[in-house]
């Protein structure tokens, strides 16, 4: 019995050695995925974009801004007023806003409490909550230190009163943040895997050779293959959006029509990845494994679970090659912020160009393989 088992095991080892596509993937994928998880999967809050309105213009207020800028937690930029903070948040250029009132020193002297206004982008609840806590600690410690140095006659400087205003997701409900992200993941998984397996199935069954002798051209064949999965992708968008709104009560403040339009360049990318995967794989099993290999970076580096600004700088640059990064921003902005194309056009252009490049390379690879 043992000899028979060993014979089967030896046969599998030989088969693995002959499979030049699966074996490297099996050995390298865990290492690459571990590296991605190690750098991208972090709950630490770094590089949070903070917009500051300094209405006080006093040494104490400037010291508060300097103290916030000196930390690795915040990337501080000064803006003129509260409206500018909202514009920065709508354009995803700021996650937190701080208003230092004009009467800061007066409030300190009269011991009425130093009131600072904090605006937090609730479309990212975890970052908003942690950032608000950090601002409270840093601003409070700075005020206590500077007020004690400038007004030594005060027995105890006034306490810091932080007035929070959470925008776009006032209750900081994590479901409102996660469910739109799930829409992106479902759309990516379904269209990538299904497209890849549909094309590989033709090679596996030998029907690709039969199609090769017909008058149909490569791009016509690919277009015919892609159309059903584009339709399926849009049905998925409709179903997931309906469930998100009707069942999970996730508000959608933007246009559903715009959401459908924005899905087009993302589908361009995912279908391109599916075709590209099919040019590498020889069997449906290989196709499935390679598809998951592509999807892991899309999941980790898209901002689905972990904010991109918390990642190391090299990983942040790598996210610009991830289609999910752009569509994740678009979907959450449409759902929670209600923004339009005037705000989302940079992501739309970038995703369209990236999708066109991916699809172009995939079509070229498919034509080479078919030839």
Residue 359 lies in a domain: yes
Residues 198 and 344 in one domain: yes
Residue 15 lies in a domain: no
Residue 3 lies in a domain: no
pLDDT of residue 40: 54
Residues 309 and 238 in one domain: yes
Residue 28 lies in a domain: no
From first to last of its 371 residues, the chain has per-residue pLDDT tens of 676 666 656 755 675 566 666 556 555 655 665 555 555 555 566 788 889 998 888 888 888 888 888 887 888 889 988 889 888 888 888 888 888 888 777 766 665 555 788 888 888 777 777 787 888 788 778 877 776 666 666 555 556 666 777 788 777 777 888 888 888 888 888 888 888 877 777 777 766 666 666 676 777 777 777 788 888 888 888 888 888 888 888 889 899 999 999 999 999 999 889 888 888 877 777 787 778 777 878 888 888 877 887 788 888 888 999 999 999 999 999 998 988 998 999 999 999 999 999 988 988 887 776 66
Residues 266 and 150 in one domain: no
pLDDT of residue 201: 74
Residue 99, helix vs strand vs coil: strand
Total domains in the chain come to: 2
Q: Which domain holds residue 82?
A: 48-167
Name the residue among 259, 212, 176 with its Cα closest to residue 366: 212
Q: Give CA 259 to chain center in angstroms.
A: 16
In the chain, which residue ranges form alpha helices assigned H by DSSP?
Answer: 2-18, 22-40, 59-69, 82-90, 104-109, 125-150, 174-205, 207-212, 218-246, 256-280, 284-301, 313-318, 323-332, 341-370
Residue 8 lies in a domain: no
What are the distances in angstroms from CA 153 to CA 108, 148, 149, 157, 310? Answer: 12, 8, 9, 9, 42
pLDDT of residue 135: 82
Residues 53 and 71 in one domain: yes
pLDDT of residue 320: 92
Residue 253 lies in a domain: yes
Asked whether the beta carbons of 370 and 210 are under 8 A apart, the reply is no
Residues 52 and 148 in one domain: yes
pLDDT of residue 20: 65
Residues 162 and 178 in one domain: no
Residues 87 and 129 in one domain: yes
Residue 254 lies in a domain: yes
Residues 180 and 262 in one domain: yes
Q: Which one of 117, 137, 167 terminates a domain?
A: 167
Residues 275 and 320 in one domain: yes
Residues 271 and 355 in one domain: yes
pLDDT of residue 15: 59
Cα 34 from Cα 40, distance rounded (Å): 10
Q: Give CA 297 to chain center in angstroms.
A: 11
Residues 155 and 250 in one domain: no
pLDDT of residue 181: 86
Residues 94 and 212 in one domain: no
Residue 146 lies in a domain: yes
Q: Which one of 167, 200, 232 terminates a domain?
A: 167
Burial class of residue 330 (count of CB atoms within 10 Å of its CB; 0-12, 13-18, 19+): buried
Q: Looking at residue 157, which CATH number applies to its domain?
A: 3.40.1710.10
């Amino acid at each position: 019995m043992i000899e028979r088992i060993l014979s089967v095991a030896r046969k599998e080892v030989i088969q693995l050695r002959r499979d030049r596509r699966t074996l490297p993937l099996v050995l390298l994928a865990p290492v690459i995925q571990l590296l991605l998880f190690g750098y991208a999967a972090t709950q630490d809050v770094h590089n949070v974009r903070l917009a500051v309105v300094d209405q006080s213009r006093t040494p104490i207020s400037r010291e508060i801004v300097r103290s916030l800028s000196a930390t690795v937690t915040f990337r501080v930029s000064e803006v003129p007023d509260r409206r500018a903070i909202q514009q920065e948040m709508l354009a995803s250029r700021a996650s937190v806003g701080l208003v230092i009132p004009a009467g800061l020193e007066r409030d300190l002297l009269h011991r009425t409490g130093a009131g600072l206004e904090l605006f937090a982008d609730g479309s990212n609840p975890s970052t908003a909550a942690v950032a608000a806590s950090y601002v409270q600690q840093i601003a409070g410690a700075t005020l206590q230190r500077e007020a004690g140095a400038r007004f030594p006659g005060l027995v105890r400087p006034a306490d810091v009163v932080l007035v929070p205003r959470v925008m776009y997701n006032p209750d900081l409900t994590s479901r409102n943040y996660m469910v739109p992200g799930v829409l992106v993941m479902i759309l990516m998984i379904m269209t990538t895997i299904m497209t890849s397996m549909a094309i590989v199935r033709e090679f596996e069954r030998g029907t690709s050779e039969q199609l090769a002798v017909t008058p149909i051209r490569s791009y016509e064949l690919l277009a015919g293959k892609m159309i059903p999965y584009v339709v399926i992708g849009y049905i998925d968008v409709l179903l997931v959006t309906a469930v998100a709104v009707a069942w999970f009560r996730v508000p959608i403040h933007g246009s559903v029509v715009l959401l459908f339009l924005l899905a087009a360049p993302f589908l361009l990318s995912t279908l391109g990845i599916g075709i590209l995967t099919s040019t590498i794989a020889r069997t449906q099993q290989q196709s499935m494994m390679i598809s998951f290999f592509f999807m892991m970076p899309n999941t980790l580096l898209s901002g689905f679970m972990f904010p991109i600004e918390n990642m190391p700088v090299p990983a942040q640059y790598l996210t610009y090659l991830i289609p999910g990064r752009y569509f994740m921003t678009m979907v959450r902005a449409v759902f929670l912020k209600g923004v339009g194309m005037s705000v989302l056009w940079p992501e739309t252009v970038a995703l369209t160009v990236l999708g066109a490049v991916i699809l172009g390379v995939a079509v070229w690879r498919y034509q080479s393989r078919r030839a």
